[in-house]
Amino acid sequence: MSSAPPPAKAGSGGAPVGNSMMDVSSGGAFVRKPSVFRDWVRADGSTPFTPASGRYILYVSMACPWAHRTLITRALKGLESAIAIVVVHPYMGEDGWHFVDTKGEAGDDSGRCEPEPLFGFHNLSQLYRKASPEYSGRFTVPVLWDKEQNTIVNNESSEIIQMLNSEFNEFATKPDVDLLPAARAKEILDLAESFYNTVNNGVYRCGFATSQSAYDVAFKELFDELDHLNEHLSTRRYMAGSSLTLADVRLFPTLARFDAVYVQHFKTNLRQIKEYEHLYGYVRDVYQVPGVGETVDIGHIKRHYTTSHPTINKYGIIPNGPDLTNYFTAPVDRTGLTG
C-alpha cells in the first residue's frame, strides 16, 4: 500500500479550500462549522425537490463518518437503484476532496471511486460552486445533488438520512423499513444528539485540538460518554431498544473507525472499543445487519485520515495495524436484549 498522497488536482477554482484544521479556534479547540445547504426532498410536493428514481446523486467518501450515515441508510432502505453514488478519492489535500480521473487510480485500493459523471469536475469544490458561484464555506461530504435543477439540495447528513428514510419509499425495495417511526421520532433524534458532541464530534475535538487543555476536555467527555453508552447498551440491542433506528446509523460510523484509526491518529487511546463488552458486541451486531458491512471500507478510512492531516501525521505514513481480522464478523448474539 503506497502512502504518498497524490498530487493536487488542478481546476478547482477559487482559493484553496483547506481541511478540518480550519475549524480550530484561537484557544486550540475544534469547533465544527454548520452545514449550509438545507433544502429537503418531500414526497408531499411541499418543496421544489420531489422524490424520483435517478434524479438525485449522493456524493460521498467511504472514509467520512458523516457520509457513511447516508450509505447505511441507502442500503437499509434498498435505494441503490434509485439514488446513485459517486465516491471521492480518500485523500483530501489543500483543494479538498477530489474525483479520480479514471477508475483504479492509485490510492483507491477497493476500486470504489469513479470520475465525476455530470460535469467532469476534478474537485468537489467545483460542484459546490456550480450550485452557488459565491459559496465560500467548506466543501464537505455527503452532498445530495439534484440533476434536474443542477444544484445541491442538502449537505447535512443528519437531514439527508431522514429524507432517505421517509421520502423515497415509492422507489425503495425495503419501504417497510422505518428507521425513524413518527411516534418515537423526537426521542430517537434527541438520543442521537446526546452523543453527537462528545462522541461523533468528540473524536475530532481530540484529534484536532491544538492545546493540551482543549484535548483534555474533549478526551474526558469522550470516554465518559463511551462508558455511558456501554452501560446503555448492556440492556438494549440497539440504541433505542430492540429495533435499529437512525440513532444507530449516527453512532455506528464513529465506533467502526475508532480502533482502526482514532485510537492512534486522534490520540483517543484510553481504551479501545473492543475493550468494552457491550459497545464491541453492538458494533459487530450492527455491522452484520445485511447491507451495513458493505458500507465499511477500512482501506479508504485508514488512507484518508493518515494521509490527509499533515499537522497530525507529517509524512503520511499509513500504519500496517491494527489486525482487524474477524473484528467485525466475529459471532455475536444480542437478540435477547429488548430494553
Identify the DSSP state of 68: H
* Contact assessment for residue 177 and residue 72, using Cβ atoms and an 8 Å cutoff: no
Q: Which of 64, 238, 262, 305 is catalytic?
A: 64
Gap between the Cα atoms of 230 and 217, Å rounded: 20
Looking at this protein, which amino acid is placed at residue 40?
A: W
Q: Which of 56, 91, 128, 204 is catalytic?
A: 204
Beta-bridge mates of residue 109? none
Identify the H or E element spanning 71.
Answer: helix 65-77
So what's the pLDDT on residue 2? Answer: 46
When the pLDDT of each residue in the chain is averaged and rounded to a whole number, the result is: 93
pLDDT in tens, 197-253: 999 999 999 999 999 999 999 999 999 999 999 999 999 999 999 999 999 999 999
Ramachandran angles phi, psi of 58, nearest 5°: -100, 120
pLDDT in tens, 45-62: 999 999 999 999 999 999
Gap between the Cα atoms of 117 and 235, Å rounded: 46
pLDDT in tens, 10-33: 443 444 455 555 577 667 887 877
Gap between the Cα atoms of 197 and 268, Å rounded: 15
Nearest to 67 by CA among 239, 297, 288, 243: 297
So what's the pLDDT on residue 34? Answer: 77
Gap between the Cα atoms of 37 and 297, Å rounded: 27
Cell of 65: 463518518
Gap between the Cα atoms of 82 and 24, Å rounded: 38
- Please report, rounded to a whole number, the percentage of residues in the chain having pLDDT higher than 90: 88
- CB-CB neighbours of 300 under 10 Å: 24
Judged by DSSP in three states, 295 sits in helix
Residue carrying the nine cell digits 433544502: 39
Looking at this protein, which amino acid is placed at residue 185?
A: A
* Whether residue 91 lies in the annotated active site: no
Secondary structure E strands in the chain: 56-60, 84-87, 92-93, 96-97, 143-146, 151-154
* Contact assessment for residue 297 and residue 110, using Cβ atoms and an 8 Å cutoff: yes
* Whether residue 305 lies in the annotated active site: no
- For the whole model, what pTM was predicted? 0.92
- CB-CB neighbours of 9 under 10 Å: 20
So what's the pLDDT on residue 27? Answer: 77
* Contact assessment for residue 335 and residue 319, using Cβ atoms and an 8 Å cutoff: no
Which phi-psi region, left, alpha or beta, contains residue 338 (left: φ > 0; alpha: ψ -120 to 50)?
Answer: alpha
